[in-house]
């Protein structure tokens, strides 16, 4: 384990334990099958990034109440709900090294358990009695579903632009992380500057995390990644490494890549050529550079906060986006 990861884990150890316990306690599922499928998606090695960011954001704003741990589960339930539905929409096969829920319990259960987790998230958020938090949560869910629909509609479209990609990952990933950080500030009763600073921080690390994720689909391997490498391309999902490479590739390389995308299937040898092309035309480097830039913007957004241990952890978590192997 890297020094950075170790430092983060030891700093958030107590919170992480509390979040894990709360995720289990606040589930209150009514039926066994809900419980089983919900637990499958919830307790299969998630990093709890969203709950932790919400808790740290509240703490950075001086939160002294006792609802932060409970409330933080909202963001993990919401995240898990979207994973259930997205895996179904993407027809994924593996998630964190496990068969996806819809392949174990069927599509119907995946749809309905997703709905249940979604509702649970809103119920827990409603207990804060803060209408602005509910508005943030409702807006997140709207944006996320729209981002997924956008992605779905543009599957296999070789003319997807970098700005359209940015729009998609803004909605499907960054908005939720932004919302977690922002809600932490609102829960703490922070001023508008702090709230907006944390919102910006969350937004930019969200973008960076998604870019890092999209990179991993090409530079990791299935065993380490816990899901099938190259899955995005197989699903016709064009991400920044590919978009950038296509825009800069020679005619023959571009035409070959477009053929692969249209076919939606490739051999191991072809995958090696694909990653070679992504490297050669700067797709990998450009994506990494953009992620670095977003991390830097995220850190700048916290300039309104005095140095503190909590701020250090938030900086470490930002850096972690870039060194992730899984």
The dihedral over CA atoms of 21, 25, 27, 33, expressed in degrees to the nearest 10, equals 90
- Site track 144-173 with a second copy (rule: CB under 8 A), x = hit: xxx-xxx-xx--------------------
Count of residues that interact with a second copy, criterion CB under 8 A: 43
Closest residue by Cα to residue 77 from 107, 110, 48, 106: 48
DSSP state of 171: I
d(CA 223, CA 213): 15
Nearest approach, Cβ of 145 to a second copy (angstroms)? 4
Q: Could you say whether residue 88 binds a second copy (CB under 8 A)?
A: yes
Transcribe 278-289 into DSSP letters: HHHTTHHHHHHH
Nearer to a second copy, 56 or 113 (CB): 113
Told to check if 89 binds a second copy by CB under 8 A, we report yes
Strands 98-99 and 94-95: antiparallel
Enumerate residues 15-74 that contact a second copy by CB under 8 A.
29-31, 33-34
Among 17, 21, 62, 127, binds a second copy (CB under 8 A): 127
| Nearest to 44, CA basis, from 6, 14, 79, 71 | 79
**Could you give phi then psi for residue 324, rounded to 5 degrees?**
-55, 135
Task: Name which position in 85, 95, 204, 237 contacts a second copy (CB under 8 A).
Answer: 85
Residues 95-124 that bind a second copy (CB under 8 A): 107-109, 111-116, 118-120, 122-123
Q: How far apart are CA 315 and CA 317, in angstroms?
A: 5
- Indicate which single residue of 22, 52, 137, 185 sits in contact with a second copy (rule: CB under 8 A): 137
> Within a 10 A sphere around the Cβ of 326, how many other Cβ atoms?
13
- Smallest gap from Cβ 189 to a second copy, in A, equals 16
What is the closest distance, in whole angstroms, from the C-beta atom of residue 50 to a second copy in the complex?
Answer: 17
Residues 210-239 that bind a second copy (CB under 8 A): none
CA distance 168 to 148: 7
CB of 144 to a second copy, least distance (A): 8
Give CA–CA dist 298/318, Å, rounded. Answer: 7
Report residue 23 as tokens: 């995720």
- Nearer Cβ to a second copy (108/262): 108
What residues line the site for a second copy (CB under 8 A)?
Answer: 29-31, 33-34, 85, 88-89, 107-109, 111-116, 118-120, 122-123, 125-127, 129-131, 134-135, 137-139, 141-142, 144-146, 148-150, 152-153
């Amino acid at each position: 384990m890297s020094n950075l990861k170790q430092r983060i884990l030891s700093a958030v150890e107590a919170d992480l334990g509390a979040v894990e316990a709360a995720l289990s306690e606040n589930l209150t599922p009514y039926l066994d099958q809900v419980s089983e499928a919900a637990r499958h998606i919830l307790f299969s090695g998630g990093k709890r990034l969203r709950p932790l960011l919400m808790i740290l954001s509240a703490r950075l704003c001086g939160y002294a109440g006792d609802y932060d741990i409970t409330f933080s589960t909202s963001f993990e339930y919401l995240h898990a709900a979207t994973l259930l539905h997205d895996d179904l929409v993407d027809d994924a096969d593996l998630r964190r090294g496990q068969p996806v829920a819809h392949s174990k319990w069927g599509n119907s259960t995946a749809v309905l358990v997703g709905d249940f987790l979604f509702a649970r998230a809103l119920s827990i958020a409603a207990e804060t009695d803060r209408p602005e938090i509910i508005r943030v949560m409702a807006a997140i869910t709207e944006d996320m579903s729209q981002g997924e629909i956008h992605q779905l509609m543009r599957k296999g479209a070789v003319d997807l632009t970098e700005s359209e990609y940015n729009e998609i990952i803004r909605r499907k990933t960054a908005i939720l992380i932004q919302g977690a950080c922002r809600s932490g500030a609102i829960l703490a009763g922070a001023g508008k500057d702090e709230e907006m600073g944390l919102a910006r921080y969350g937004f930019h690390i969200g973008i960076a995390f998604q870019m890092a994720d999209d990179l991993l689909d090409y530079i990791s391997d299935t065993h380490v990644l816990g899901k099938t490498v190259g899955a995005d391309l197989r699903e016709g999902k064009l991400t920044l490494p590919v978009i950038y490479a296509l825009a800069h590739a020679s005619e023959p390389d571009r035409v070959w890549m477009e053929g692969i995308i249209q076919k939606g299937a490739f051999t191991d040898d072809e995958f090696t050529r694909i990653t070679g092309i992504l490297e050669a035309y700067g797709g990998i480097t450009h994506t990494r550079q953009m992620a670095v830039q977003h991390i830097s913007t995220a850190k700048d957004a916290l300039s309104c906060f005095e140095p503190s241990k909590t701020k250090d952890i938030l900086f470490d978590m930002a850096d972690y986006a870039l060194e992730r192997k899984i």
